[in-house]
Structure 1
Amino acid sequence: MSFHTIIIVGNVGREPEMRFTPNGQPVTSFSVASSRSYTNQQGEKVDETIWFRISAFGKLAETCNQYLHKGSKVLVEGRLIPDKNGGPRIWQRQDGSPGASFEVTANTVRFLSARGETEPGAPLDEGLAHDDSAEIPF
């Protein structure tokens, strides 16, 4: 048996979008940017951002759609979903530079933003983490 988990802490990059599978199960998609800064060997400050495309299913999808907003700070625990070649999804940006996104199916989403840090009425972290172990329907 094999198992892997990825944990991401970052900010929601756009408003979540909820849709439904053909059998009626809710799916909410949103992006998360995880950033870090460091100084390279030449003494220059480097800012690095990695984007993740998150999919949440079932009750977790409904909760994410209701409470997450662009700019919300979140912790996502889930599993990577590779493309057919086993890697991230690769594309070319409008300016011609390469881009990649990592697809993640969420098992847990913790809302880390304090009330007022994003949209009015955004939830506090307390008690809003939600686990959903439902199987993906496709």
Structure 2
Amino acid sequence: MAVNIAFKGNVGKDPETHTFNNGNTVTTFSVGVSQGYYDQQRQWVDQGTMWVTVECSPAASHELPWVHKGSKVLVTGLLSQRFYTRKDGTQGSELRVYAQALGFLHRKDDQPPASGFAGADRGQSQPQASGADPWGGAGRADGFGEPDF
């Protein structure tokens, strides 16, 4: 059974494309997701950053030219956990999302992105709310309890 997930965060490094011996390619990048909560005084209590490796599907890869270190993104896709052995012999694991769609979020001082949300192709963008905020002013009232980036 697949676990579908949607999350927002900041791109930690520019996308990297790897080519395999059979000619297939895979493009990945990391996204840092703030972890924490607001206390009773409405102060953010930081609990560190969770890093997620994003692997792009062909549909989501159309957005890669706009993905850069520091970009704030919304990712939807299939969640998995990969286990591996490090060079020193210890075991490690990573959270990995096979992205089916990428969206771009803007900071308060930035202009809204040119594209809304990438679906299977550019023609399937989600409608945007009127006004300057394409996410309808969700901000901190989105229920996720995350600070503005």
Matches within 5 A, 1:32-47: 32-38=31-37, 45-47=45-47
Alpha-carbon shift at residue 25 of structure 1 (Å): 4.9
Q: Distance in 1 between matches of 2:114 and 2:4?
A: 22
Give the C-alpha shift of residue 48 in structure 1.
2.5
- Which 4+ stretches in 1 moved above 6 angstroms? none
Q: Structure 2 unaligned runs (5+)?
A: 122-149
Give the alignment of 1:115-130 within 5 angstroms: 124=113, 126-130=115-119
Displacement of 1:79 in angstroms is 0.9
1:58 aligned residue: 58
Which amino acid in structure 1 is aligned with residue 94 of structure 2? S
Report what 1:95 is aligned to. Answer: none
**1:3: how far off?**
3.9
Shift of 1:112: 1.4
TM-score (norm 1): 0.62
Say which SS state the counterpart of residue 82 (structure 2) adopts: coil
Report the count of equivalent residues. Answer: 116
Contact 1:28 1:62 in 2 (8 A): no
Task: Give the Cα–Cα distance (whole angstroms) in 2 for the partners of residues 62 and 123 of structure 1.
Answer: 19
Q: What is the deviation of 1:38?
A: 3.0
- 2:77 equivalent in structure 1: 78
Higher relative contact order (CA 8 A, sep 6+): 1
The correspondence for 1:131, drawn from 120, 129, 136, is 120
Q: TM-score, normalised by structure 2?
A: 0.58
Identity of aligned residues (%): 33
User: Equivalents in 2 of 1:59, 1:46: separation in Å?
Assistant: 34
Runs of at least 5 residues in structure 1 that lack an aligned partner in the other structure = 93-97, 133-138
Aligned to 1:135: none
1:14 equivalent in alignment to 2:13: yes
- The alignment yields a C-alpha RMSD, in angstroms, of 3.9
Give the Cα–Cα distance (whole angstroms) in 2 for the partners of residues 50 and 9 of structure 1. Answer: 11
Which residue of 2 is the match for residue 101 of structure 1? Answer: 94
